[in-house]
Each structure stands twice: as C-alpha cells, then as structure tokens.
Structure 1
Amino acid sequence: MTPEPATFPGYRFPASIISYAVWLYHVFGLSLREVELLLAERGIVVTHESMWQWCRKFGAGFVRKLRRRRPKSGDTWHLGEVFLKIGGELHYLWRAVDQHGVVLDILVQGRRNATAAKRFFKRLLVGLKYRPRRLVTDGPHSYGVAHREVMPEVKHWTSRYLNNCAENSHRPTRRRERKMQRFKSPAQAQRFLSSHAMIYGHFRPRRHLMTAGEYRHARAQAFQLWREETRVQAAA
C-alpha cells in the first residue's frame, strides 16, 4: 500500500511540493512567477502569492533544521559588509563566512560603525557558541574596536587581499537584489537573505576543490539532508 504523502497542517499541498518550491526559489535565482510557471508545467496549479507565503513561513524553519545538522564551521572567520539601497536609504549587509566559504550568519543594519560591528560579533558568538582562532577583515576601524571589546583573545588580520571569501559570498545577494528589483524593507531583506544564504550555500559545495566523485557524493548528501528536514521529519 502506498503511504499517504507527508503534509503540513493547514496546507492542502503535500510537504514535498512546498519544499520543492522553496528549493527552486532560493537555489536558482528564479522569481516566484517563474517558479509558478515551472510547477504549472508539471500540472501543479499554485499562485505565486501562495509560494511567497510558503517561503516566508517555511524558509526560516528549514534553515534552523539545516543549521543543526551541518558540521562545525572552520576556525577562521572572514567578515565583510556591502551596502544595500532599501526604500531610498543606505543600509549595510554584514556577512561572516569561514575559510571554506560557508556562510555563518548575516545581519542587515543601518550603520557601519563600531556599535554595528559589536552587535554582529555578539550575534555570531551566540549563534555558533564557540570562538574562532582567527578573524580576517578589511579596512574599517569598526572591526578593530569590536574585536578588542568582544573577542580580544582572537587573532585579527586586516587585509583586503585575504578577504576574498567574504567578498565573493556577496555575489549571490547582488544577483537576487537585481532579480527582486531591490528589497522593500530591512526586515524583508533580513528575513529573505538569512534563508537564502543558508539554502543556497547548502547546495553549493566548493566544486572546484573536489573531484567529480567527491562532488557527486556531497551533492547526494545535500539532497538527502534536505529531504529529511523538509519533507519527512518537518511534516511528521
């Protein structure tokens, strides 16, 4: 007997379809209307408004589950920030990645000063519950102030040339920003980018450092973990 598909309470579509739509939206840089079209081709009629609700409600939950399952991050943290134009005002996206390019966390703030840097450092420590061996940042003095007050025992290197990991990790954000025609509010940017950074990165191992066999194995593991956390355990 074929088992009934797993569902989320209160939703008429199976959990597999909801998780598939969220996966498409975050991994491939598609708009919600484009995801709607792809699903329609498969005979699944659902509006882009419904998918927006799915991504908003389930995206953060999926990310929390993936975070719990991922291995401990590296001991070198690369920190950087990039500006975002939101509602005609300048904001900054603070991002931390480890030496392997894995995104540790992001935070959207309205300032680029020492107070903002300290807030981001404290957020990282609370979320990861351990301290790195080394911090790598670029030029702003705000990083030095935050380092001395929050993590003085950690080695701090300042170099624009050693921080390519952080700089490169901003590229998917820029592509999505253009696709979405800018973010509508700081809260919306924070909510979306927190989910996007984790889900996108989960399916993007550093392929250029792997053999073909290693990459296929990593990809299979990523899919298995995604299925477990979004379609079976999450819906049980």
Structure 2
Amino acid sequence: MTAGPTTPAHPAGPTNPPLTRKARRRNRIIAVIGLTSVWVLLWGTFTWANLISGLVLSVVLLAVFPLPPVTFAGRIRPVPLARFWVRFLRDLVVASVQIARLAVRFGHPPLSAIIAVPLRVNTDLNLTLTAEALSLVPGSLIIEADRATGTLYVHVIGIRDRAEVERFRQGVLDLEARIVAAIGSPDELRRVTQPDPAGPPEPAHPEGAPR
C-alpha cells in the first residue's frame, strides 16, 4: 500500500543566506549535541561512557564528513522541549508494545504501507530531526527524504486502511509541530499552528499502486 501526495503541498522556502562565523560555530555545537543525543538514544541507556563516546564520535564525524551549512534561526524553549521528550518516550513505549503484539499474533501477517508526508517547515534541520525521531520509534522507518519538497517517505507496519494512513500522517505533522515548538523560529511556529488556507492536499496514487 502506498499513499500520499507525490507533489509538495507547500512551496519550498527561500535559500538559506550565507552563515557568519559565529553562526557556523553555534551550528556545529548544535550538531554535536544532536548527534550525541541520537547516539545515546540508540544505545538505550544513559551512561558516562555512552555520553563521552558519543561526543568524540560526533566531533570526528563532523571533522571527517562536514555537514552542509544548516541555518538555526529558532531558539530553544525549555517547556515545549520537555513536552517533546515526554511524548517521545511515551511513543517509544506504546510503539514497542504494539510491535510486540504484532510479532506474537497468529493469523495473517501485518500489512505495511509507504506513506508520503510533506512537512510544513521545509528546512534541512527540521527534515533531519523529524526523520530521526520517526526512525527511532519502532514500527516506522524513513526510506527516503526529498530535500527539494520537504517530503518524508515512511515505511509503516500495521496499517490496515486509509483511515490509519491519514491518522499516521497527522501524527507525523503533530511530531513536527512539537519539534518546531521546542526549537523553531516564530515564523516556523506560525506555519505549523495556522491552518493551510488551501486545505488538506488530495492524496495521489502512483501508477500501479493499490488504492
């Protein structure tokens, strides 16, 4: 089952302006913190060894494989950031239980779907953070990220009908909104909180895909 629009629901944002030396230094620090957080999450436990090894690995990765410049125009908001982590940890537990049930359930194997989700904030940082958060939750895996349109293509297990497709897509948009609320700029926050005047996009079915 493949579902979702194949064209962007929102126009791509303007090209990022050249970064100043101070902005590049700040972005490197943010990148190190982000990579280290992902490393600790992948291990599943917080220890000093995991933290230090994550910091060292992040610095080495950024030195050997420098990332393209990413503009961080937002600011960190502690309360929304705490809400994001609480909800993220809850989603981890719930998704793990659901996958365990699917693994031991008798009968037909669970259906899966590839769902296209156009994000409302088309920036490299938002695309990366949303994709990482989705991939860390059991049952969902990013198979492609279209940087030009800001669209994530997610493989999801346990999808049975169109209603669940739309429910999952809305869940991704809610995840994006929580990330933007935690670290986004005021303009990005408006984009995820104000409804789209054009209305929701009409799903498009690729040729040969089940409807």
TM-score (norm 2): 0.25
- The structure carrying a bigger strand percent of its residues is 1
**Higher relative contact order (CA closer than 8 Å, sequence separation 6+):** 2
